[in-house]
Amino acid sequence: MLDSTIQHNGPSTGLFRYWFGRLWLTSFGWRLSGRLPTDKRLVLIAAPHTTNWDGVFMIATAWVFRIKLHWIAKQSLVSGPFGFVLRSFGAVGVDRSKPVGQVQQVAERIRESDGMFLAIAPSGSRSLREHWKSGFYHIACEAGVPIVPSFLDWGAKHSGVGPAIHPTGDIHADMDAVRAFYDGMKGKYPERQTPVRLREEAQAAAETTESAANG
């Protein structure tokens, strides 16, 4: 279990949440590992994601690490009558009606912030899908921030964070690093676990195969 001396430069939470998160995870027999980079802004991968319980255990893990997570929400919700509540819980509003895309909007919010740890579940669902969504990768590239893989390995009752991955623009090579990190980890329902692979990678592989065939 991590101790309370863990330091980072991003948005932080207080000791009450630290101790509550620690009590929660200890009660369920979970252990933590990893150390956050010193960056004030980053994109945090939340995986594997197969159950609503992932959110609870992820929040508890974040509190032990003393970090405040941010997440993407519709602008209409963030600007609504109870928007201040959502913003206080880390919501980052995105206006889908704007000509500027979601990736650019979120990346701009990250760059303009004093500090932001944006958590994204690339599987996009608790159910089995063919690919991860690539938004997390393109947001990190656009904002110029590292990607940090966080994990909930239900098989080992182990949660935490891995080393920062600085996207190079070579999406396949960068995803190989992500795949290597998550190899062997299991969600609560492994049969629902989406493979660590982006649609762009599959398309690129198909184009390469077609090109070779037409040689």
Query: Residue 5: inside a domain, yes or no?
Result: no
Q: Which of 78, 49, 55 is nearest to 193 (CA)?
A: 49
Query: Residue 1: inside a domain, yes or no?
Result: no
pLDDT in tens, 5-34: 466 878 888 889 999 999 999 999 999 999
Q: Which of 200, 191, 195, 165 is nearest to 183 (CA)?
A: 195
The strand order across the sheet containing 116-120 reads 31-33, 158-161, 147-153, 41-47, 116-120, 69-74, 91-94
Cβ(43)–Cβ(120) below 8 Å: yes
d(C-alpha 215, C-alpha 211), whole Å:
6
pLDDT in tens, 55-90: 999 999 999 999 999 998 888 887 877 787 778 778
Query: pLDDT-derived band of residue 206, with 50, 70 and 90 as boundaries?
Result: low
Residue type, 153: D
Residues composing the chain: 215
**What pLDDT is stored for residue 140 in this prediction?**
97
d(C-alpha 159, C-alpha 62), whole Å:
10
Domain count of the fold of the chain: 1
Query: Residue 9: inside a domain, yes or no?
Result: no
Query: Residue 139: inside a domain, yes or no?
Result: yes
Q: In angstroms, how far is CA 85 from the centroid of its own chain?
A: 22
Query: Residue 73: inside a domain, yes or no?
Result: yes
Q: Which residues contact 211 (CB under 8 A, 6 or more apart)?
A: none
Cβ(55)–Cβ(41) below 8 Å: no
Q: Pairing state of beta strands 31-33 and 158-161?
A: parallel
Query: Residue 152: inside a domain, yes or no?
Result: yes
Six-digit token string for 109: 């919010």
pLDDT(4) > 60 = no
Average pLDDT over residues 120-124: 94
User: Which structural domain, as residue segments, surrounds residue 21?
Assistant: 15-214
Query: Residue 7: inside a domain, yes or no?
Result: no
Only one residue has tokens 């110029």, namely: 144
**What pLDDT is stored for residue 210 in this prediction?**
56
Residue type, 37: P
Query: Using the 8-state DSSP alphabet, how is residue 187 labeled?
Result: -
Cβ(16)–Cβ(59) below 8 Å: no
Query: Residue 196: inside a domain, yes or no?
Result: yes
Q: In angstroms, how far is CA 210 from the centroid of its own chain?
A: 33
Query: What's the pTM value of the predicted model, to 2 decimals?
Result: 0.87
